[in-house]
Amino acid sequence: MEIFGPLWLSVQLALVTTFVLFLIGTPVAWWLARTAASWKPAAQAIVAMPIVLPPTVMGFYLLILLGPYGAIGSWWFELTGSTLTFSFTGLVIASCIYSLPFAVQPMQNAFESLPRQMLEFAWTQGASKRDAFFSVAVPMSARGFVAAAVLSFAHTLGEFGVVLMVGGNIPGETRVVSIAIYDHVESLQYGAAHQMSLLLLAFAFTVLLGMYMVNRRWSLR
């Protein structure tokens, strides 16, 4: 039984999701950290919803939304002739929504703890807002970025319910490790289930250990 295929697929999914979440989550976190808009709490609530909602709710709506009759899925179908569900791209979209708060919240916390005047100093020193963001805000928020990366990566790796509902269990495409383990258990192949689970266990431990060690080094500095 192929053990590394599903694990590698999960790692790929987690990496791509983390990358996309950096692109999407950073401006969202920046906006949330700095805005005084009256609907900020509403925006925060929307971002945080995946923490509260059961994966089945998200899976259900994504199945409809990404399907050929859904808003996103129908557009995608026109464009490409295939549905977003049962595809790696669909899983990336689902994972990004599912892990969004785990990327946004650490970044937002980091941005909120930046002294406002330090950015103002950067501006008056000749840096445009964009320049100051990359030269001052980003390096000063490095810890938040690392936390966001590790949490989105780990959360996507551990994703099950949503993938189960929109993935379609296609080997090499959507059959990620959590699904593969589930299937092995369901079909009484406990040996294979053990092998994959232990591998995932070791991997998760290593990633988290790495993060906490980096964190400790930083806080001791």
Partner 1 sequence: MPVRKLLLVAALLPGSLLADDVVRVAVASNFIQTAAKLTKHFSETTAVSVRISSGSTGKLYAQIINGAPFDVFLAADTERPRLLEQDGYAVPGTRATYATGSLVLWSRDERLRGRNCREVLQRGDYNRLAIANPETAPYGDAAMQFLVAEGLWQGVSSHVVYGENIVQTLNYAATGNATLAIVAASLMSYPGLPSTVCMWRVPQSSHAALNQQLVLLERAADDEAANSFVEYLRSDRAAAIIERDGYTVVR
Partner 2 sequence: MSGVSSIRQQLIPVQHRASLGSFMLDVDVGIPAQGVTGVFGESGSGKTTLLRCIAGLETGSGTDSRPPHERGVGYVFQEPQLFPHMSVEGNIEYGRRRAGADRLDKDHVVEMLGIGNLLSRKPAGLSGGEAQRVAIAAVLLRSPELILMDEPLASLDQRRKDELLPYLDRLHDELSVPIVYVSHSIDEVCRLCDHLILIEDGRVVADGELHAMLARLDIPMLTGRNAGTVINATPDRHDSDYDLTLFRFSGGELLVPGKYDSTIPNMRLRIAASDVSICRTRPQKTTILNVLPAEIDEIQPTGSSTDLVRLAIGDDLLVAQVTRRSVTNLDLRKGDHVFAQVKSVTVRR
Q: Which residues bind partner 2 (CB under 8 A)?
A: 115, 117-118, 120-129, 131-132, 135-136, 139-140, 142
Pick from partner 1, partner 2, none: which does 121 bind, CB < 5 to 8 A by kind? partner 2
Among 25, 50, 55, 67, binds partner 1 (CB under 8 A): 67
- Residue 8 in contact with residue 175, Cβ under 8 Å? no
- Residue 148 in contact with residue 106, Cβ under 8 Å? yes
Number of H helices, E strands in the chain: 12, 0
Pick from partner 2, partner 1, none: which does 140 bind, CB < 5 to 8 A by kind? partner 2
Among 54, 68, 172, 191, binds partner 1 (CB under 8 A): 68
Residue with Cβ nearer partner 1 (164 or 200): 164
Tokens representing 183? 């299937």
- Residue 200 in contact with residue 181, Cβ under 8 Å? yes
- Residue 87 in contact with residue 176, Cβ under 8 Å? no
Pick from partner 1, partner 2, none: which does 62 bind, CB < 5 to 8 A by kind? none
Distance of CA 44 to the CA centre of its chain: 16
Q: Which residues contact 63 (CB under 8 A, 6 or more apart)?
A: 85, 165, 166
Residue with Cβ nearer partner 1 (68 or 210): 68
Pick from partner 2, partner 1, none: which does 67 bind, CB < 5 to 8 A by kind? partner 1
Residue with Cβ nearer partner 2 (11 or 214): 214
For residues 208 and 115, give the distance between their C-alpha atoms in angstroms, rounded to a whole number.
29
Which residues are near partner 1 by CB under 8 A?
63-64, 66-69, 73, 82-83, 85-86, 164-166, 168-170, 174, 182-183, 185-188
